[in-house]
Amino acid sequence: MTVLRLLAAAAFALASSLACAQSTGAYPVKAIRLVVPFPPGAGTDTIARVLAQKIGDSMATPIVVDNRPGAGGAIGATEVARAEPDGYTLLLVASPFTTVAAASANAGYDPLHQFVSVAPIALGPLAFVVNADVPATTMREFVALAKQQPGKLNYGSAGTGSVNHLALELLKSRTGIDIVHIPYKGIAPATVDLLSGQIQAITASIPATLPYLAQGRLRVLAVTGPKRAALLPDVPTWKESGKS
């Protein structure tokens, strides 16, 4: 199933779930706001815009994507937690929704008690990518490079507590390397700095990195998950690289 077909199916399920959730009265009677807690251009944002179009068409109602980036997604989540619980403010979450809340003493929201799940959308691995100028073509070479230059290599994330952050902290703990964490308001601005060489590495969704891989501006060294990614079949997993 292609990504667009998968999202279309998810959008239909989400629209049906929303209609059932509001079956006691007319719904919707006005535009629905879909908050994305990451900046435009992020993988979550791309998914949100496809969903907004598909759901809007199926419900004959405008779905307005509202980007509220920052703090690993906590700013957007907090805003939705404080909104009226009337079904007109939705939040498209990703892994940081739970990891940021777990890692922070005061994230500003409670994922267990202030939100209700409506429908799952998509599941996919992350890609570990480096700037093309980084002299490493495998995870082993990257780890060796980091050990030769402790504290000199920087990696970006979508914010403290985000899955991008935790994935590389896990790598650090298992390999003993010293690389510096630089948190951003989302993975999109982190990618901009990666492309310019301000930082050397990130983990990001595969679709978000594909254009830059094709241009040769970034290099992918491994993917997370138990098996190789369909979009990058020649790229080993972290486990295959000996870094799981």
H, E, C per residue of 40-100: CCCHHHHHHHHHHHHHHHHHCCCEEEEECCCHHHHHHHHHHHCCCCCCCEEECCCCHHHHH
Assess whether the previous peptide bond of 28 is cis (omega < 30° from 0): yes
How far apart (Å, rounded) are the C-alpha atoms in residues 137 and 140? 8
How far apart (Å, rounded) are the C-alpha atoms in residues 164 and 205? 9
Answer whether residue 192 shows pLDDT above 60. yes
pLDDT of residue 229: 94
Answer whether residue 23 shows pLDDT above 60. no
Stretch 150-159: mean pLDDT: 95
Q: Residue 165's closest CA among 96, 212, 102?
A: 96
Answer whether residue 65 shows pLDDT above 60. yes
CA distances from 70 to 85, 115, 185 (A): 23, 19, 4
Stretch 42-48: mean pLDDT: 84
Answer whether residue 83 shows pLDDT above 90. yes
Answer whether residue 17 shows pLDDT above 60. no
Q: What are phi and psi of 27, to 5 degrees?
A: -160, 135
pLDDT of residue 26: 83
pLDDT of residue 104: 79
pLDDT band at 186 (very low <50, low <70, confident <90, very high): confident
Prediction pTM value: 0.70
pLDDT of residue 8: 45
Stretch 175-182: mean pLDDT: 97
pLDDT of residue 24: 57
Q: Residue 125's closest CA among 220, 15, 218, 11?
A: 220
pLDDT of residue 71: 83
What's the mean pLDDT when you consider all of the chain?
87
How far apart (Å, rounded) are the C-alpha atoms in residues 185 and 5? 30
Query: What domains sit in the chain, N to C, each tagged with a CATH number?
Result: 3-103 (3.40.190.150), 126-223 (3.40.190.10)
pLDDT of residue 161: 84
Q: Are 155 and 198 in contact (CB under 8 A)?
A: no
Answer whether residue 40 shows pLDDT above 50. yes
pLDDT > 90: percent of the chain: 59
Answer whether residue 190 shows pLDDT above 90. yes
Answer whether residue 136 shows pLDDT above 60. yes
How far apart (Å, rounded) are the C-alpha atoms in residues 26 and 28? 6
Stretch 82-94: mean pLDDT: 91
Q: Which two tokens stand for residue 84?
A: 């009226």
Stretch 11-24: mean pLDDT: 52
pLDDT of residue 62: 95
